[in-house]
Amino acid sequence: MLEDKRISILRSFVVGIAALSPLLILIITNEDILSVDFPILVGLFIQAYIGFSSFMLVQSYEPKEKNKVTVGYAVFWSALGICYISGKSLMMPIALEITSFSTILIYSGTEYGKKQIESLGSLLLASGISALFLSAWVMLPDGDNIGIILLLIGLLIKSGFSGFHIWLPKVNEGGPSHALGSFAGVLEIFPLLLFYRYVLPNQLDPIIYQVLFPLAALGIFFGGITSFFHKDPKISLAYSSIESLNFLWLCLIITGMFQFSGDTDLMNLSNSFRILFFLSLLHHSFSKTFQLFSIGMVSRLINSNNSDELKGIGRLLGISPLLLGAGTFSYAVLPGTIGFVSEATYFYLNARILDLPIGRSVFLLPSMIFIFFGIVLGGFTHIKLYITMFLSIPRNNMNLLPFGDMQKRWLYISLLSLAFTIYLFPLALPLFVELPMLKPFADQQLIDWFWNISFVSMVTILIIMFFYFYDRWNRVKISDLKRKTWDCGGGYSGHELSVPSTVFSKPLKNSLGRYFVNKMGDSIVDNLIINSLTFIFNFGTKFVSSTNEPKEEDISKYLAISSMFLIFIFSLLIFGDFKG
């Protein structure tokens, strides 16, 4: 037992060094970490923090191949750190590919089935396509507009932006929970921070932001609705990530849209959304990682992908619902959580938008209803999963995978480290906006707002702590205190009255859900995108004979297609010459 403990500590030390080293190197060697390279500092800080939490879950989650998983994580964090600190060089796309391929080792602790292979394949495909665009940007000179556009496309693909998101649900479907939490909390925010560092400072054509803005709003709407109606917890959280990531893109788009405006009101709006981006980024990283860790771990105990079959299974972990609900409370916008800071600030900024003259706000107002709807349903997704999995009564004689005291201890450390940030950050919010990179963008109204929500959060946390300790004192004082279940009135404690997650979504399934999720539970929008891509890629087969032996008429088809594309290329060249 002592030998196993020493080996576990050694594994944690190796992974911790790999996750922390890039941050230390940046702090020691870079003098611009509180100015232009501030987003790189934020990304590496999150990496170091979540790298620790994720590997604590590995110690609890993986029954075998821990050495391979350790090597995989060491390579993963080291390579991702190189992506951050390498700047505009070929090391960035190379390190990104190494980061992606290291996931093969990270997945080695799970049995390779169809879902696991599809998960790996989707991740590698998205990373490979993104790396091609990043490579093109690296090869082009600084300030080149084409290079900036290619970089933007690569970042949109890698981050799961609306329309480029189809790989993300497949990744969540078959990946281990510790890996999915690392992807959501660190890897998926990497493109957003690169955008902030290398694209946002450039004065792009306004039409680009005007195209991206409605797409991001639709991504929020689509992601929130699809996550609410999906039955698989991991895939549901994937669509919730799509909603969160598109919201982060929305903040960046509004920032870029008005950052060079001569209008004072629009400039203040741009600066406020710049700060909101970092608040929402921290909310997404820590809250989403917590959800994937906790819900993914619970799902694995009975190896089910149906949330209705997981009723009450979280109770069997023996961990306090207050701790297990940290991520849910954050997405439910409860005061005292990092999610409350993010969402409340967004609502506050929307109130300021309404105060703008109609000519300045008309572009933003129509999208509000879609954004609000997606955010609300996305948040309620987490609530329904929490009520079903962690508060309901489990059925009798459930066949659970082994989960001993040592595994419970590692899981407790992992979740507690993330919950600590979720609850502590609102109290430190006024200090956060005093950082040199953010302070110039915070006007006095926004600073006063942050002090107010920080105070509300502090009061809420104190009240909850008071009732928590009072409850513990009451239990000690009254030793025969009978436990009561929350959802089974009349003193009945049977599992039959437990609340399944579909209770919340079924009333809206026929009126709204049927437009986004089919009877099999798959996304209708994603299936449409995949079928369209499949048709395009298979278009060439329409011109080829059904047999493997070419026929005489195939030659004329090939020549006709080649001539068409040759004429098209010459037309572009001639048009370019006349335009120049």
457-480 pLDDT, tens digit each:
999 989 888 887 877 777 666 655
Find the helix or strand (DSSP H, E) in which 148 lies: helix 145-158
More confident residue, 174 or 271: 271
Are 338 and 282 a contacting pair, CB within 8 Å? yes
Query: pLDDT for 16-35, tens place per residue?
Result: 888 899 999 999 998 888 88
CA angle (496, 500, 502) in 5-degree steps: 140
Nearest to 343 by CA among 249, 247, 462: 247
Integer Cα distance of 113 and 131 in angstroms? 27
Confidence category of residue 111, pLDDT binned at 50, 70, 90: confident
* 113-122, 240-249, 383-392, 534-543: least confident range: 534-543
Cα 254 versus chain centre, distance = 20
- What is the mean predicted confidence (pLDDT) over 333-361? 83
Confidence category of residue 363, pLDDT binned at 50, 70, 90: low
Nearest to 254 by CA among 377, 365, 338, 153: 365
What is the predicted pLDDT for the residue at 566? 62
| Beta-ladder partners of 517 | 523
Question: Is the pLDDT reported for residue 578 higher than 50?
Answer: no
What is the predicted pLDDT for the residue at 579? 46
The pTM assigned to this predicted structure is 0.89
Query: What secondary structure letter does DSSP report for 303?
Result: T
Confidence category of residue 78, pLDDT binned at 50, 70, 90: very high
Cα 24 versus chain centre, distance = 25
Confidence category of residue 580, pLDDT binned at 50, 70, 90: very low
Confidence category of residue 340, pLDDT binned at 50, 70, 90: very high
| Beta-ladder partners of 523 | 517
More confident residue, 237 or 406: 237
What is the predicted pLDDT for the residue at 490? 59
Confidence category of residue 361, pLDDT binned at 50, 70, 90: low
What is the predicted pLDDT for the residue at 422? 93
- The mean pLDDT of the chain is 82
- What is the mean predicted confidence (pLDDT) over 281-296? 91
Question: Is the pLDDT reported for residue 573 higher than 80?
Answer: no
Integer Cα distance of 199 and 175 in angstroms? 31
* 134-143, 356-365, 407-416: least confident range: 356-365
Confidence category of residue 485, pLDDT binned at 50, 70, 90: low
